[in-house]
Amino acid sequence: MKTLRTLTVLFSVSLALSGSPSIHAAEGLRALPETAESIATVGGRIANLRDPSVVRLNPASLADISDTTFQFSFQAWHGKTDFTQSTGASDSMIVPWKYAGSLFIAHPLNDNLTAGLGISAPFGVSINWPRQGLFRYSTPFDSVLQTFAINPAIGFDLNDRISLGAGLDIYHSRLKLDQAYSWGLATGFPFPDGDMTFEGEGTGVGGYIGVNFKLSDTQRLSITGRLPVSVDYDGDFTIENVPAPVSGLFFEKSRFRSEIEHPGSIGVGYGVDISDKLTLGFDFEWTQNSTHDDLPLDIGRNQALLGGPVSLPLQWKDSISAGVGGSYQLREDLELRFGYLYSESPMRKTTYTPAVPADDRHIFSVGFGYDMDDRNRIDFGYSLIVMEDSKISGNINPAYNGTYDYDWNILTLSYTKKF
């Protein structure tokens, strides 16, 4: 009974964190790995990872989990983005701390078949600029995309050399944009500004697969594939301080609609045991970020506020990531981990937006796993994200031209329990 109460509390915490403002993205809107072991070996995990988060990463590896296993993870991001215009004027992103959590459970059904369930926040962004800053009228001062995922999956051994897995992506997503609107510029009279809020929710369903090949007793090859998931958002648009002279033309509230297609991906991982203690992995992944072509903004009877039908142009490009990761068994109860991942930015300079500030990333990770006993383990991972400054010029919105400087650090803690 005590164990059940503990799982219930951790499930509730994970649910709350997964629904909180999501973190700065790794590739476009996609977040980094959710668990400490996964992020500590960030560039070489597809073929080697065996914690319950394979439910989402590579369901074929579920077949290697022989005990009912529960895992809860907490992740804290700290970072900043500084912006400097060519004139020397500057601004900095506020709210430096971001938090996320995840929950994964794996349960063997028989010797060859294992089921799993994951709850996480795999896509999202939460960026906050000063309300009265340089982007006051040109971009949202708060941009939040929360994508909450439920992933049921199964993995099974086809034979001694091949295992297969499949799962469902069940997404519930919330989009919220807050931006100042100048009634003075719009009407030519000194009316006070009004904050615009675009807020909507939607759901989508997709699927993914994994295949593991045991090449030899020390070598493994894994292939994963994920379908894109389209989410249609439906909600409300509100605007404050509508001046009396235009109150018959514009309204404090109207319907809001939009759409985002979360990208599909294909990944390949190779794992090799160099010795009884040292394991290495090498990953390559292609992500279909070109699905983020634009962000339509339909605000119904208030559409004239935006000048008619409008979409925020993104025109992102497909991107790749590649890296290496590994682990070293220092003691029977202590494993050391390391990883490096190069992650290509999908954004173009002409359509770069401060609502998702990022560039090509070099992610360096270290961590450890400590077995408290044969049923309980804690894992820790630290990651440093290194990005070169983005020097933006020729943007379709001249207000976005300038230099963006980034700094991000990630701490991840996981607890794993076997039953």
pTM of the entire predicted model: 0.89
Contact 142, 177 (CB under 8 A): yes
Q: Which pLDDT value is given to residue 31?
A: 63
Q: Which residues contact 296 (CB under 8 A, 6 or more apart)?
A: 257, 258, 259, 310, 311
Query: Letter for the amino acid at 202?
Result: G
11-23: pLDDT as tens digits: 333 333 333 333 3
Residue 399: strand, helix, or coil = helix
Task: Read off the amino acid at residue 199.
Answer: E
Residue 308, token pair as written in the block: 């008619």
Res 74 pLDDT > 60: yes
The pLDDT > 90 percentage for the chain reads: 76
Q: Determine the 3-state secondary structure of 83 from DSSP.
A: strand
Token pair belonging to 92: 């900095």
Query: 90-92 and 142-157 as β-strands: parallel, antiparallel, unpaired?
Result: unpaired
Report which secondary-structure segment, H or E, holds 300: none
pLDDT at 5: 35
Place of tokens 């003691």: 331
Per-residue pLDDT, 30: 58
Tokens matching residue 346:
């999908």
User: What would you measure as the largest C-alpha separation in the chain, in angstroms?
Assistant: 78
Cα separation, 356 vs 142, in Å, equals 11
Tell me the C-alpha distance between 23 and 34, whole Å.
11
Positive or negative, the CA dihedral 309, 312, 317, 318 is negative
pLDDT at 216: 97
Q: What is the CATH number of domain 12-413?
A: 2.40.160.60
pLDDT digits (tens, 9 = 90+) for 210-246: 999 999 999 999 999 999 999 999 999 999 999 999 9
pLDDT at 409 over 70: yes
Evaluate whether 149 touches 171 at the Cβ level (below 8 Å): yes
Judged against a pLDDT cut of 50, whether residue 311 lies above it is answered with: yes
Cβ proximity of 360 and 344 under 8 Å = yes
The residue among 314 and 414 whose pLDDT is bigger is 414
CA angle 211, 31, 380 (to 5 degrees): 85
Pairing, β 219-226 against β 265-273: antiparallel
- Tokens at residue 197, please? 């809020």
